[in-house]
Structure 1
Amino acid sequence: MSDLDLDELRDELADFAQPEKKGGRSAREERIIASFEEIQRFADQHGRAPQHGEERDIFERLYATRLDRLRALEECRSLLAPLDHQGLLAGAENAAAAPAEEMDDDELLAELEGAAGATDITDLRHVRATAEKRAAEEIANRERCEDFPRFKPLFDTVQADIDRGARITQPIRKDAGFLKTDIKAGEFFILGGQIAYVAEVGDRFKAPNGESDARLRVIYSNGTESNLLLRSLQRALYKDETSRRVSEPSAGPLFASESETDDLASGTVYVLRSQSDNSTVAANRDLVHKIGVTGGDVVKRIANAKLDPTFLFADVEIVATYNLFNISRIKLENLIHRIFGPARLDIEIKDRFGNPVIPREWFLVPLFVIDEAVEKIKDGTITGFVYDPKTASLVKHSASPLPGDLA
């Protein structure tokens, strides 16, 4: 020790000194924080923590897996707690990830790979989480659709059509014989909670199993796209229990006593008779009918009839129902109301606040004429017909179809 001066001693000890942390944090800690910040951005955009579930977008499932990992590791919770202004780490006791002692540094970094510097949930080039690997086997890796503005009006139109009933959606059932050949360019599906548009179908080729296949370009309503195969899209649609096929604005028969395999169930036309003690209704009870269309259960629809001015604040009796398929409920209801418009019941009632209400779906029409109208709609001969109250029959109105006819 006497032969060693202070400079030499400092040099000897330098070999054992811990490397100074850049910014006070190690690279590992920076990586953990960056990964958590991505999850925080997701929570800010969606107002909730990412969740698991086959119906969720694959990117959300990926973040949910990451969050489980961070919740499960004590060192991660301690590091991130001061940054967790959204309470995302709550519920750590329910996390399904491996405990800290079973995960070394390499495993953790593998889980968080790609987190640092990533600013978009669709940037998954370096991520290797289990959720993504599993999803990638079913559908090709999605990436940002650079020309999405060209497709966005299509998605807006389809969503508006679905909302107003101009298009309907049909669950994808494997036992119904949904084939790869049923997937064509220009079609819309709902997959993983997103509307998917088949923009392009490439040249056909023979797959290793000998079946015909093709490469697709599929655009999703969240601004991403993928180039998966026909068989991969079919498999993904089968696997997603919430997947649906979107119909054209109008297609197929209007009514059927039984639905065929390819029919898209749309709703029910119902005819009701009122039990109201209103003098006009009571005097014409066998003629006064409410004609409506619903996509739900008719019994549930009328459950609170006596509390609803639409039902004249009285109980009602279901006198006829007709199942309909492949048709816009709104267009059909408008057509029926136009046909029977000349016989619309002119009645005014007071609501519970004393305000006047004029129900618009009640008509002075015999039930047999309603049946006849349904038959004419069913066989496509309703064009130009209108109800004549004087003769209590359907008469040819003109050579031109009624506005809004479903011809």
Structure 2
Amino acid sequence: MANKFTEEDDALLEELGVEVEGKKVASRTPREERIIAGFEEIQRFVDEQGRMPEHGEERDIFERLYATRLDQIRRQEECRTVLAEFDRQGLVDLSFVETEAVVDDMDDEALLAELGVEVDTPNEITKLNHVRSSADKRAAEEIANREKCEDFDKFKPLLDKVKKDLAAGVRQTRPFQTMAEIKQGEFFIVGGQIAYVAEMGEEFITEYDRRDSRLRVIYDNGTESDVLLRSLQRALHRDGTGRRITEPSAGPLFSDVSADDDLASGTVYVLRSKSDLPYVQENRDILHKIGVTGGSVEKRIANAKLDSTFLMADVEIVATYELFNINRTKLENLIHRVFEPARLEIEIKDRFGRPVVPREWFLVPLFVIDDAVEKIKDGTIGDFIYDPEQATLRPR
């Protein structure tokens, strides 16, 4: 009769004075146990990924480790014999073996060393908290090896404008995804610096049959580097703050229709006050409140006559501009800075009788506000400021 007792059952029966026939288990050497355990990790990888582990500097370090370990297993008769009964996926197949190759028996630490990987804690191979492949190290060295950019004056205006666009929300930063995003004329954030791909050399094929190019990258601190495209790619992936900077035209900023992948951010609204205050009555045609809201403008102004922000009076909506892919707060602050010279300085009492100075009202004609919106669209608004005497936007 088959023995169906567990170890806990055996212990209980023994306490009761009942003898249980012990289950016979084939003993294995520690080396054989290690071979089986290592092979099971490879099997799990194949189950999860649906393919065998592969070599290559672009592969995950564990995949490279499994690929090297599998090569080692296939080339050793002892390993093939031990694993014969476990090889449900047909991984130990001699047809994969390169007959001219000879690999000695190596543990995981030795395998990692063979792969060019440094491990901080050799005894905890599976925890690999800090590992760097030789390719990663070369990438870091190339990025770090910067020189002074002798013609930086040519690039400084471009980089300064990108900073302004980011501050205004005209440009956005996005997580870096693929090598295809690295093109001449593109901007990135790597190592805490804005990087501009000024030049891209001829494409060539590496020893691993991969496409690559030599780049000239200019950084906003006045330095530059001669770096491989794949090195910049690795640096962006490894940098926790590495980002791609979008173009100003990346998606409609203001439009009646949004694309499927646009992020609806809100509405710029222009209001006119119905207050009976003498100064407001005298300047009603050019006195406008300019704001940005993420909700309905109608709801925003529903209780205007109870809100000192709206001069404790009802208002009418003069114009609205729907916006996408832009930071509302940054945009509103930028618009207010542009029209700062025409900001209304007026003190009113709120509903509790306390003095309040509203900050979002400007003595600006509507056509100038329209002009400002157009400059936001083309990404140049940060270069202008309002001139009250000429009633126009002029370069800073």
Question: Which category of TM-score, normalised to the shorter sequence, fits these structures?
Answer: 0.3 to 0.5
Q: Tell which structure's C-alpha radius of gyration is larger.
A: 2
TM-score, normalised via structure 1 length = 0.39
TM-score, normalised via structure 2 length = 0.39
